[in-house]
Homo-oligomer: A and B are copies of this chain.
Amino acid sequence: MKKATIKDVAALAGVSVSAVSYVLNQSTEKKYSEKTRQKIYSAAEKLGYHPNHIARGMRSQRSYSIGIVNWWEINNRVFIKTLEGITAMGEKLGYSVVICPSADSYSYLSYYENKRIDGAVLIAPVTSMAEFNEMEHIRRLQKAKIPFAVINGHTDLPQGNCFRYDFAQTTYLATDYLLAKGHREIIYIAPKYGEEIREVGLRQKGYMTRMQEEGLPCLCRAVEDLTPQMLKQFHSIVTNKTDTAKKVMDMALTAGIKIPEDLSIIAANTEYYSEYLPVPLTTVQIPFQSIGKMAMRRVISAIEHHDLSSEEMPACMVLEQNSVKNLSSEGNKEGKGMRIYS
């Protein structure tokens, strides 16, 4: 009981295979007579005909699939969100995405070459990991002549196929949010990572930029150096990430400091658990999906050699919870929940 082929449809409809192929594909142009078309449609319907994409790809030398080069844990929130965007855009443009299950360094390449992917999206890790040699990945993709785009890459690509999470914007926005809520003495807290990590530098910079715009002094502290004494003197904090905020929060609550009454905290990224911390944490969300979409569209437009209309990248958003006190006289009419800010 094999699946119906184009041949079966042709036979049943009493026409040639080429007629079937033409009619079933060209939805707009109607070279064939209405009568023939109808015969074909009903025959296909009757047989439960499904075009074989494998055969189509074989013929067109295209697989209509895009491979993901990925160094993230599969359940990482950033990865998932980015992937959601990639997949959505792929669906829209008629491409499917495939992910190599194998974890070791470059084995995905064979996997993808075997599968004849039409292109790839490389999602680089945020922190430059020793094991992840971005340049080498790029070199190999180029050598394999696979069109690709890079998300969050550290390398500048000539074709502009590089899309980055805007880390500076996250802290800029977090700071801006606190300012809007009437806070003035805002402290930035992050771990003592090395400065060589792009993300770390950008996050701090975003905070400083916004503070300087306002003519306010910047104060940056490492979370490792924090003491309860210090915390008691702080009232408004921006942290780089949720885990830093959690450390601050734990120390504050232990010291009897109330959040948000005595201390407001906002983190410049969102984690699965941000809203489940002792005090639900207000955070900044990066539009990962959009970045995924943009990268996907770029790759596909490279494959198809024509520009696809590009949507503008939306800004980061503040996901409001309960960790920030409103000091502004205007009051905070809105309830907690996600909303676009700025």
Contact = CB atoms under 8 A, between A and B. Distances in A.
Copies of this chain per assembly: 2
Interface stretch (A51-59, A233-241, A300-308): A51-59
Given A3-B113, A54-B115, A276-B277, 17 more contacts: A1-B145, A2-B61, A3-B116, A50-B114, A53-B115, A55-B58, A74-B80, A75-B81, A88-B101, A91-B102, A96-B98, A246-B276, A272-B272, A272-B273, A273-B273, A276-B276, A277-B278
Give the interface size class of chain A: 35 or more
Contacts of A88: 101
B54 A116 contact: yes
Interface of A: 1-3, 50-55, 57-58, 61, 63, 74-75, 77, 80-81, 83-84, 87-88, 90-91, 96-98, 101-102, 110, 113-116, 145, 246, 272-273, 276-278
Contacts of A101: 87-88, 90-91, 96-97
A116 B53 contact: yes
A114 B51 contact: yes
Contacts of A115: 53-54, 96
27 contacts: A2-B61, A3-B113, A3-B116, A50-B113, A51-B114, A52-B114, A52-B116, A54-B57, A54-B63, A58-B58, A74-B84, A75-B77, A88-B101, A91-B102, A96-B98, A96-B101, A96-B115, A97-B101, A98-B98, A246-B276, A272-B273, A273-B273, A273-B276, A276-B276, A276-B277, A277-B278, A278-B278
